[in-house]
Amino acid sequence: MPNGGVFRFLFLISLFTLSLSSIPKYDNIFLPIHLHNDDSLSSSASSCPAPNPNLNYKPVIGILTHPRDGASGRLSNATDASNIPASYIKFAESGGARVIPLIYNEPTEKLLKKLDLVNGVIFVGGWAKQGLYLETVERILKIAFQRNDAGEHFPIYGISLGFELITIIISEDNNILDKYNARNQASTLQFVENADIEGSIFQSFPPDLIKKLSTECIVTQNHHFGISPEKLQGNEKLSNFWEILTISTDENNQVYVSTVRSRKYPVTGFQWHPQKNAFEWGSASIPHTENAIRVTQSAAGFLVSEARKSTNRPNDQEVRDNLIYNFKPTYGGKAGKGYDEVYIFE
């Protein structure tokens, strides 16, 4: 080897040796082989706490279908069709649950049997406020109250229309809602004075995200109806049932109740849509920022954490026979509007 090559070789060796000497030493880090050879370390490092036997680590959420195909007849014209936007299903799954569809117009006996398989329910958004749909929501809601009164923790999420229907049912007034202009709107959530978030959905939100809810438009509103704080508080039945957590304003600067929780039951009402930020893309107004996605994740996590408290342990095979995995979604977002994916039941 020429002298120049020898020199370069020795120079590289010296650099390599120097770099090795500069690597910090972590004497307290042990590889698995070290733990295997050291019984004192192995016994403590490999022990994991046993799962809490009082919690259900296989929670199942029932989601009630909504009439028609969710796409103004573009996907199905069947008069008995009903649907669940896939965003609600992904929402529940992202929190760590599986989903069973509750088909609103199926025989009552079949619907009730499915309710025995779930640990909580989501009432979705939409437009149906009367007839069989309202009756089905009321039936499920009463069963949820009965199960909670009997000692089972059984959570309900009423989202947009779902919240409106619970409000109609509790007030026993089909005209309790007022019109608002909050169609396809990103907004903030303003916490009411002295709002107690302990034990509410917002308890699961990181503190920095709680602050951003009131300063950044990171929730999605999409509704024509709602209820004002004054009207809710002025109705004895509603004020006894709901505790207001947040309010929001529509395009005309009219104030409405945006988040509530039941004073007695694990029931949360949203006028906004926690599922849309991460899983819907058809509207330009849906926020997809990192903080908006964290809103979806935190809301999903709270729902499933509540469902884990359910003492109901249904038969595994019956659950599998009824899971949403037995159905296929339809891609409805190709037109660039409406839901991206929807499950249609006929």
Q: How long, in residues, is the chain?
A: 346
- What confidence tens digit (pLDDT) does each residue in 186-206 have? 999 999 998 999 999 999 999
Calpha distance 257→4 (Å, rounded): 80
129 with 30, same domain: the answer is no
Do 121 and 156 touch, CB atoms closer than 8 A? Answer: yes
How far apart (Å, rounded) are the C-alpha atoms in residues 153 and 120? Answer: 9
Distance CA 16, CA 129 (A): 74
User: Is there a single domain that holds both residue 26 and residue 71?
Assistant: no
Instruction: Please state the rounded mean pLDDT for residues 260-266.
Output: 98
Does residue 52 lie within any of the structural domains? no
* Residue-range definition of the domain harbouring residue 38: 3-45
On whether both 28 and 107 belong to a single domain, the answer is: no
**For residue 305, what is the domain's CATH number?**
3.40.50.880
103 and 241 fall within a common domain: yes
Residue 39 lies in a domain: yes
The CA distances from residue 273 to 22, 36, 131, 183, in Å, are 53, 50, 24, 12
Percent of the chain with pLDDT over 70: 87
Percent of residues in the chain assigned helix, strand, coil, to nearest 5: 40, 20, 40
The total domain count for the chain is 2
Residue indicated by tokens 């779930």: 118
Question: Looking at the structure, do residues 64 and 34 belong to the same domain, yes or no?
Answer: no
Looking at residues 295-311, what average pLDDT do you find? 97
Rounded CA gap, 175 and 191, in Å? 26
pLDDT at 220 over 70: yes
**Which helix (H) or strand (E) is 45 found in, with range?**
helix 39-45
The residue from 66, 153, 223, 273 that is catalytic is 273
Question: What distance lies between CA 81 and its chain's CA centroid?
Answer: 25
Mean pLDDT over 207-232 rounds to 98
Question: What one-character-per-residue DSSP string does 291-345 give?
Answer: HHHHHHHHHHHHHHHHHTT------HHHHHHHSGGGS--EE-GGGSSS-SEEEEE
283 domain residue, yes or no: yes
Are 38 and 102 found together in one domain? no
What are the residues whose beta carbons fall under 8 Å from the beta carbon of 110, sequence distance 6 or more? none
223 belongs to the catalytic site = no
- Residues 31, 83, single domain; the answer is no
Beta strands 156-159; 267-270: pairing state: parallel
Tell me if 346 is assigned to some domain: no
The closest of 252, 257, 216, 226 to 239, measured between CA atoms, is 257
Residue 2 is predicted with a pLDDT of 54
Average pLDDT estimate for 67-92: 94
Residue 27 pLDDT exceeds 90: no
Residue 271 sits in the same domain as residue 185: yes
Whether this prediction's pTM lies above 0.95 is answered by: no
The CA distance from 90 to 131, in Å, is 29
Cα distance from N-terminal residue to C-terminal residue, the chain = 82
**Residue 54 counted as domain residue:** no
The verdict on residue 229 lying in a domain is yes
Alpha carbons within 13 angstroms on the beta-carbon side of residue 162 total 26
| 85 & 13 share domain | no
> DSSP 3-state assignment of 81?
coil
**Both 12 and 94 in a single domain?**
no
Question: Which residues lie closer than 8 Å to 206 by C-beta, 6 or more apart?
Answer: 294, 298
